[in-house]
């Protein structure tokens, strides 16, 4: 199939493009920096530019059977920044497609568990539950899903949980922390969370590319490993993968909130990417983020294959080979 991918050189995009290329699909990617082409399989087609390209009213795109929109911001400077990339840019891409002489057979969108929001005690979200996002990132993703559900061509939104694996700058913070022998987690009861390894996620997206006969026009899937863990367990197993017996320090919520406000102020002054903004704080202190991928398993036959402990050990190995650890 002829497939167009945005966000192809990102953490998820690299794994997905490798899997799609190996499966024989003809790939074209949106590429802002030609230097990053080396991160992708050889022979991949390129459309040069950033997401602003799709706002050009006279832009003519080659015909693609499937468009996969992965490009997103997970650490924005402010609420407007989250909405600009995670919602407005989705609209720009779709409206651009509607100006073409063709329509995709499937538009695959990278949403997030954040669109569903944190789980109340004892609740595991399914796709039938309404979204209750608590931060700008999740609100933008849910708004994008709702916008896609209004289109007259097929769309598929997938909601991954925490995505683990080598090459992810967001979760790499955990590894850097664990390397010191100390792990910081929010105070109070351990937070229950779900996860998925990037190799399993890439397989799931690959299964979403073709649209089965009699499938609904718009589909939504959670993507997660069936094992539920806690933030405490995650830190300890990351430490174990690094050969460290971690000392866990529980941070009172008021200290985390103060640190979040401080980092937000400093990032506004110095312009660095803030990994401890309000979105991150709200997600860290939520009681749980739990969901079920039963729908994905039943409809598309997907199963998570990567074991939790083995997957984290593999991630550590990958980070070391990349020179990050």
What confidence tier does 277 reach under pLDDT thresholds 50, 70, 90? confident
SS3 144: helix
SS3 169: coil
Q: Which two tokens stand for residue 244?
A: 């460290």
Is 271's pLDDT higher than 80?
A: no
Is 272's pLDDT higher than 80?
A: no
Residue 185 in any domain: the answer is no
Q: In whole angstroms, what is the distance from residue 214 CA to residue 92 CA?
A: 29
Q: For the ranges 55-59, 63-67, 121-125, 291-295, which has the lowest average pLDDT?
A: 121-125
Residue 59 in any domain: the answer is yes
Pick the closest to residue 201 from 104, 289, 113 (CA basis).
113
| Full residue range of the structural domain in which residue 47 is found | 2-161+197-224+292-305
The confidence score (pLDDT) of residue 76 equals: 81
In the chain, the number of structural domains is 1
Q: In whole angstroms, what is the distance from residue 89 CA to residue 94 CA?
A: 9
Residue 324 in any domain: the answer is no
Residue written as tokens 């796709």?
127
Torsion on CA atoms 71, 151, 3, 222, rounded to nearest 10 = 60
Q: H or E segment at 48?
A: strand 45-48
Residue 318 in any domain: the answer is no
Residue 246 in any domain: the answer is no
Write the CATH number for 9.
3.40.50.720
Q: pLDDT tens digits, residue range 17-59?
A: 999 999 999 999 999 988 899 999 999 999 999 999 999 999 9
Q: For the ranges 57-71, 152-166, 187-201, 272-286, which has the lowest average pLDDT?
A: 272-286
Q: H or E segment at 148?
A: helix 136-148
Is 131's pLDDT higher than 90?
A: yes
Residues 6+ apart with CB under 8 A from 321: 166
Query: CB-side exposure of 10: number of CA atoms within 13 Å?
Result: 19
Residue 37 in any domain: the answer is yes
What confidence tier does 170 reach under pLDDT thresholds 50, 70, 90? confident
């Amino acid at each position: 199939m002829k497939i167009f991918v945005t966000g192809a050189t990102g953490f998820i995009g690299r794994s997905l493009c490798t899997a799609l290329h190996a499966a024989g699909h003809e790939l074209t990617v949106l590429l802002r920096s030609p230097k990053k082409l080396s991160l992708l399989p050889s022979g991949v087609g390129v459309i040069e530019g950033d997401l602003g390209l799709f706002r050009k009213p006279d832009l003519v795109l080659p015909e693609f059977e499937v468009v996969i929109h992965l490009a997103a911001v997970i650490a924005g400077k402010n609420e407007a920044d989250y909405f600009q990339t995670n919602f407005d840019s989705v609209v720009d891409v779709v409206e651009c497609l509607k100006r073409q002489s063709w329509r995709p057979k499937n538009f695959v969108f990278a949403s997030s568990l954040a669109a569903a929001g944190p789980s109340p005690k004892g609740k595991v979200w399914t796709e039938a539950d309404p979204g209750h996002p608590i931060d700008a990132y999740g609100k933008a993703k849910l708004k994008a899903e709702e916008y896609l559900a209004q289109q007259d061509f097929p769309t598929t939104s997938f909601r991954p949980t925490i995505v683990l694996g080598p090459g992810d700058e967001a979760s790499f913070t955990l590894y850097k922390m664990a390397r010191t022998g100390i792990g910081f987690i929010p105070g109070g009861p351990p937070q229950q969370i779900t996860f998925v390894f990037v190799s399993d996620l890439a397989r799931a997206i690959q299964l979403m590319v073709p649209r089965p006969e009699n499938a609904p026009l718009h589909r939504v899937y959670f993507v997660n490993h069936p094992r539920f863990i806690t933030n405490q367990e995650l830190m300890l197993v990351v430490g174990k993968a690094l050969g460290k017996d971690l000392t866990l320090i529980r941070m009172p919520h008021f200290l985390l909130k103060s640190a979040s406000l401080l980092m937000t102020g400093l990032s506004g002054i110095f312009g660095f990417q803030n990994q401890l903004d309000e979105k991150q704080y709200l997600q860290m202190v939520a009681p749980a983020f739990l969901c079920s991928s039963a729908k994905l398993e039943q409809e598309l036959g997907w199963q998570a294959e990567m074991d939790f402990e083995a997957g984290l050990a593999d991630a550590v190995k990958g980070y070391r080979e990349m020179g990050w650890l």
